[in-house]
Structure 1
Amino acid sequence: MTRQNTALWLPRRGARFEVGPAPYTPPAANEVVVRVRAIAVNPIDGIPGFLYRLALPWLTFPAVVGSDVAGEVVETGSGVTRLRPGDRVLGHAFGVDKSQNRAAESAFQHYAVLMQHMVAPIPDSLPFAQAAVLPLALSTASTGMFQQDHLGLAIPGAPDLSQPVDRSETVLVWGGSTSVGANAIQLARSAGYQVVTTASPHNFDYVRSLGAAAAVDRSSPTAVEEIVERIGGSPLAGTLAIGSGSLTKTIAVAARTTGSKRIASAQPALFTRITARRARRLGVRVSSIWGGTLKDNEVGPAIYVGFLPGALSTGAYRAAPDATVVGHGLAHIPDALRQLKNGVSAQKLVVTV
């Protein structure tokens, strides 16, 4: 069968996106090709050209970008036994990652090549648009929480709703209503940790519905003191710092609580490195998350193969935040990116294709 592919191209740094034909790339060993049905957008997808030189200096042009996809498997490469053509899946696309750096593996197109261990089957009850909110945020949260060079927390196994694990430790998630935060809360709870988080007050019910035991107003002048009080005598297992201003506050919390002094930061790497130097004086270790490294270690398959399929099918894990569909067709992706720059709260912008 001859398949015709179409992509949303970035012809060069700083150029506008253009819809145009793209080659259909068959899968290599341990890869699958997915007919993309829904794509979520992320801030890195729409950064100005000069920032691409800082964030993705290796990216070759013309380029296709994008990380979050959901759709149907149409072809599998050698060595793939867990996925078949016709399977409904979500997956993390790595075309902009330094180790991959090829248009065929990015999300903004009709047919994307994905690593099979970074793809998870989804239940029929989960719409593609809602499934697409997960991959990059899930990967970023998983990288920060479970990789040994970050927090090194226990990775959740297959969910057992009758006998939940209780580790008697607390994870602090600063920024619980963000996409990364929504996944971090659920992952920590699935692994048996209590979660204390921050959010705007209008999102308190939302983060509690994801499993947070307590929520504190991130803008409160007494947020640090309130978080320390909520954690109480429970040892801190680790902290995930998400969003502007999170590092300074989480360092203060870590310095005043018992347990782990490790913070995984989802803020820009340069800012994280500068702040990390100051944190060492307080005995706090800060590391910078790159949400794609889990594909190269045990965390990626543990989440996408071992945990997520069962957790989604049983309802133990929720595809969050809620998807807001901006339009249908690749040409609507720039519209979604413009809306994203204006700011969203407890939602993810999605384009169907």
Structure 2
Amino acid sequence: MASEIPKTMKALVTQADKTAKIEEIPVPEIDDTEVLVKVVALAQNPTDWKHIKGITNPGTICGCDWSGYVVKTGRKVSSPAVGDHVAGFVHGGTYKDRGAFAEYVKATGDLCWKVPEGMISHEEAATMGCSFWTAVQALFHPDRLGLVEPPNKVDKEEWVLVYGGSGSVGMFAIQLAHIAGYKVVATASPRNHELCKSLGADAVIDYKDPSAIEKIKEVSHNSIRAGLDAISEAETQKFCVQAFGAQGGKLVTILGAPQEVQRMRADVKVQSTLIYTSLGRSFIFAGNTPFPASEEDRGHMAQFLKKVPELVKSGQIKPNPTMFFDGGLEGINAGLQHMMEGKHSGQKIVYRLTN
């Protein structure tokens, strides 16, 4: 199949004026540990438009989440193989030869997961990238919440708080904590309560309810020791810290926490997690913050991804509900605008490039 690979491809590329447009660029070359994938479907995340509008690295390929077929493998890659349906996550908006919103994407071989044949679509598989990986890292990495990791289960009743249960990260976090045997209390707007319960939440609280914190404490018997804030604005972080039980614990956020939040309770540690570290590459984030390569974070994700095919095949993990946007690469700017305007909830925006 390598002989069928073209020299150039279409990709959505970041521009200096904080926009993104389709350009014809070279198909990326892979190293000995990488695979080249012909992209079939894509999924969208808030980080995509934030990299375009805020971080703005001109000339870089946008997009993080993808699903497709392997068309070429590096010399040291034993799995996946050419022809396999795989899905994964890359750091979009950062590299000129590595991004999801393109006809071809390259990725490290052991950071792709093989999609069980006939179980889920390419669009559904693409939803299990940035958000799914973030939930995995936040809940199970030893240096984050360090919860018991599936297929093992916690051996006693223990409650976990998931703030933002109907968001993409939150939906995966509910499922993952549930299959690990934890009791889950999530926050969501009333229209998404049944969705959260269908994913495994034992209790769902309206975050706008003036007594929401008291209700969380009541249902959890004032025992929350582990929490994930999947929204991570200053006010949501304050909410979460107040909802912890009398013995304190640890809150993981997906954005940095201001000092005022970190100082609220000495018995509640607030720590952020950034999923790009799981890719095992050094990078500069938000223009000036250096992140060294973390082999520990990469290794943890690589070993967890080996479990994902069976979790999907058994039905224990379900993809996010999807909202389809027409137009393939040409439709992405409309989808990004839709997301920036806050018009979607409880769904993942997806695109299809080819059959």
1:318 aligns with 2:303: no
Cα distance in 1 for partners of 2:139, 2:32 equals: 29
Distance 2:273 2:26 in 1: 32
Select which of 2, 6, 11 maps to 1:7: 11
The answer on whether the counterparts of 1:153 and 1:237 sit within 8 Å (CA) in structure 2 is no
Q: Which residue of 1 aligns with 2:37?
A: 34
1:49 CA displacement: 5.7
For residues 32 and 237 of structure 1, what CA distance do their matches in structure 2 show?
A: 40
> How far off its partner does 1:323 sit?
0.9
Counterpart position of 1:117? 110
TM-score, length of structure 2 as denominator length: 0.87
CA deviation string 1:146-198 (max 9, x = no partner): 223321212223x8xxxx66442111101100000001011111222111111
Runs of 4+ displaced beyond 6 Å = none
- Pair 345,68 (structure 1): closer, same or farther in 2 beyond 3 Å: same
Equivalent pairs counted in the alignment come to: 328
**1:145 is aligned to 2:139:** yes
Q: Which amino acid aligns with 1:262?
A: K
SS in 2 for 1:74: strand
Alignment-mate amino acid for residue 304 of structure 1:
L
Kept in 2: contact 1:247–1:275 (CA 8 A)? no
Within 2, Cα distance between the matches of 1:64 and 1:48?
10
Listed one character per residue, the Cα deviations across residues 178-237 of structure 1 (whole Å, up to 9, x for unaligned) are 00000101111122211111111111110011011111111101000000011116x434
Tell me the amino acid that sits aligned with residue 75 of structure 2. S
Q: Structure 1 349/240 Cα, relative in aligned 2: closer, same or farther at 3 Å?
A: same
Aligned equivalents of 1:242, 1:315: Cα separation in 2:
23
Structure number with the bigger relative contact order (C-alpha 8 A, sep ≥ 6) is 1
Partners of 1:229 and 1:313 lie apart in 2 by: 36
Structure 2: which 5+ residue stretches go unaligned? Answer: 281-296
Query: Cα–Cα, structure 1 residues 154 and 165, in superposed 2: closer, same or farther, change >3 Å?
Result: closer
* Partner residue in 1 for 2:267: 283
In the TM superposition, what whole-angstrom CA distance separates every residue of 1:64-103 from its partner, at most 9, and x where no partner exists? 121110111111112222211111111011244xxxx423
1:212 match: secondary structure: coil
Distance 2:130 2:206 in 1: 26
CA drift at 1:303: 2.2
- 2:229 is matched with 241
Letter in 1 for 2:179: S
Partner residue, 2:302 = 301
Deviation (angstroms), 1:246? 1.6
Answer whether contact 2:217 2:224 (CA < 8 A) is retained: no
User: 1:56: which partner in 2?
Assistant: none
- Whether the 8 Å CA contact 1:166–1:193 is kept in 2: the answer is no
Q: CA RMSD in A?
A: 2.0
Q: Distance in 2 between matches of 1:119 and 1:334?
A: 26
Distance 1:257 1:131 in 2: 40
1:335 maps to: 334
Mapped partners of 1:62, 1:142: distance in 2? 31
Contact (CA 8 Å) 1:94, 1:114: kept in 2 or not?
Answer: no
Partner residue in 1 for 2:286: none
**8 Å Cα contact 1:24-1:111 kept in structure 2:** yes
Q: Is the 8 A contact 2:160 2:177 kept in 1?
A: yes
**Separation in 2, partners of 1:114, 1:273:** 34
- TM-score normalized with structure 1 length: 0.87
Residue 76 (str. 1) matches residue 73 (str. 2) = yes
Aligned equivalents of 1:212, 1:104: Cα separation in 2: 40
1:178 to 144, 167, 171: 167
The CA distance in 1 between the partners of 2:185 and 2:329, in whole Å, is 38
Alpha-carbon distance in structure 2 between the residues aligned to 1:166 and 1:72? 40
Change (3 A) 1:8 1:218: same
Shift of 1:287: 0.7
Matched, 1:52 2:63: no
* Structure-2 change in CA distance of 1:165 and 1:33 (3 Å): same
Is the 1:276–1:285 contact (alpha carbons within 8 Å) kept by the matching residues of 2?
no
